[in-house]
């Protein structure tokens, strides 16, 4: 297995991407790289398009050239968040932000270029080693008696370790087309924060607030629960987000473990 950083291969550089892919001759490429600063994408749309759409196309065309299969990690932000029941894989894309638009356009271009590519849409990722919601909540809770957290956005928190395991299973099963890959169950950010605080044995108060009170440059979908139906059809089940959170907290305490 080869893991490439942005330094080794900037996906905006088509020639470099083709060179490293030709050299590595992979059976599968997992494309997780993206410009993920959702608010930054609003102020830098050209960069968002160059990385998230055109960069993905560069990787797909390099994969095609060497006969490699591709898993593209996509996002719940391709949807508008107006549904009140889980989004199915065939639901119409209607992104509300530049970030979501670039991921949606990448999905469309990739499926045209490489109809057997696998698009794994995920959401609300957290994991040890990077900035993520549980880490931010725990750091803030260490110095504040109370935290205000948005309670009108509902989605599926997803542990990066569980997503990685699912992607491996997708490769083993030769998956093609769109799947939704999130931990099971859903919650609001407020409910997620409450569970993080409770599971960590902290006394910090979590207060529910509305998105309007915490205005951000990019709109967030109010509801972006992704249905696991497509994943189940492949015989893959992901654990609940509460179980995933427990394992994340264990791993955060002892970073050498790999729960
Ligand atoms: N975070 C979420 O909640 C969420 C939800 C749904 C879907 N996703 C998708 O899941 C994937 C991983 O998300 P994440 O939040 O884990 O991302 P992340 O922590 O921001 O990591 C993104 C990675 O992409 C690399 N990258 C950025 N620009 C690049 C370029 N031009 N060429 C090559 N590499 C580049 C970054 O490298 P540097 O650090 O060196 O810049 C970084 O390693 C992304 O495709 C994202 O769209 C994320």
Quick check: is 99 catalytic? yes
Distance of alpha carbon 209 from alpha carbon 185, whole angstroms: 22
Distance of alpha carbon 139 from alpha carbon 196, whole angstroms: 11
Give the position, in ligand 1's atom list, of the atom nearest the Cα of 37. 20
Q: Residue 255's pLDDT is what? A: 66
Specify the residue for token string 């990739």: 110
Q: Are strands 69-75 and 154-155 parallel, antiparallel or unpaired?
A: unpaired
Average pLDDT per block of 10 residues along the chain, 259 residues long = 90 97 96 97 98 98 97 98 97 98 98 98 96 96 94 97 98 98 98 96 95 89 96 97 97 77
Q: Which two tokens stand for residue 13?
A: 């550089």
Cβ count within 10 A of residue 131: 8
- Whether this prediction's pTM lies above 0.95 is answered by yes
Give the position, in ligand 1's atom list, of the atom nearest the Cα of 77. 6
Contact 72, 111 (CB under 8 A): no
Q: Which of 12, 34, 189 to mutate to test the pocket of ligand 1 (most atoms within 8 A of CB)?
A: 34
Q: Measured at the alpha carbon of residue 34, what is the angle toward residues 123 and 252, in degrees to the nearest 5?
A: 55
What is the 40 CA–ligand 1 centroid distance (Å)? 13
Q: Residue 257's pLDDT is what? A: 67
Give the position, in ligand 1's atom list, of the atom nearest the Cα of 72. 45
Exposure of 166 by Cβ count < 10 A (0-12 exposed, 13-18 middle, 19+ buried)? buried
What is the 237 CA–ligand 1 centroid distance (Å)? 24
Identify the active-site residue in 99, 159, 223, 248: 99
Distance of alpha carbon 220 from alpha carbon 215, whole angstroms: 10
Indicate if ligand 1 lies below 6 Å from the C-beta of 12.
yes
Indicate if ligand 1 lies below 6 Å from the C-beta of 130.
yes
Q: Which two tokens stand for residue 46?
A: 């050209």
Specify the residue for token string 């390099």: 62
Closest CA to 157 of 197, 129, 135, 185: 185
Beta strands (DSSP E) in the chain are 28-31, 69-75, 118-122, 125-126, 146-150, 154-155, 158-159, 177-180, 187-188, 205-209
What is the 8-class DSSP label of residue 259? -
Q: Residue 1's pLDDT is what? A: 84
């Amino acid at each position: 297995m080869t893991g490439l950083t942005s330094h080794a291969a900037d996906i905006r550089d088509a020639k470099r991407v083709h060179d490293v892919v030709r050299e590595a001759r992979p059976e599968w490429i997992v494309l997780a790289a993206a410009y993920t600063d959702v608010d930054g994408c609003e102020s830098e749309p050209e960069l968002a398009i160059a990385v998230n759409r055109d960069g993905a196309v560069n990787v797909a065309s390099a994969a095609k050239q060497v006969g490699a299969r591709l898993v593209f990690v996509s996002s719940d932000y391709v949807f508008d968040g107006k549904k009140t029941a889980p989004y199915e894989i065939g639901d119409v894309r209607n992104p509300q932000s530049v970030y979501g638009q670039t991921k949606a356009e990448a999905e469309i271009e990739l499926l045209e270029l490489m109809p057997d590519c696998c698009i794994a849409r995920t959401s609300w990722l957290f994991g040890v080693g990077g900035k993520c919601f549980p880490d931010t909540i725990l750091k803030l809770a260490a110095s504040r008696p109370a935290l205000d957290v948005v309670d009108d956005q509902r989605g599926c928190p997803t542990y990066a370790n569980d997503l990685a395991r699912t992607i491996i299973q997708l490769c083993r099963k030769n998956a093609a087309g769109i799947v939704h890959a999130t931990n099971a169950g859903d919650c609001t950010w407020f409910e997620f924060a409450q569970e993080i605080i409770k599971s960590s044995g902290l006394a910090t108060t979590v207060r529910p607030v509305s998105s309007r009170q915490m205005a951000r440059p990019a709109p967030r979908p109010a509801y972006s629960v992704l249905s696991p139906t497509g994943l189940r059809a492949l015989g893959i089940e992901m654990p609940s987000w509460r179980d995933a959170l427990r394992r994340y907290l264990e791993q955060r305490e002892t970073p050498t473990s790999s729960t």
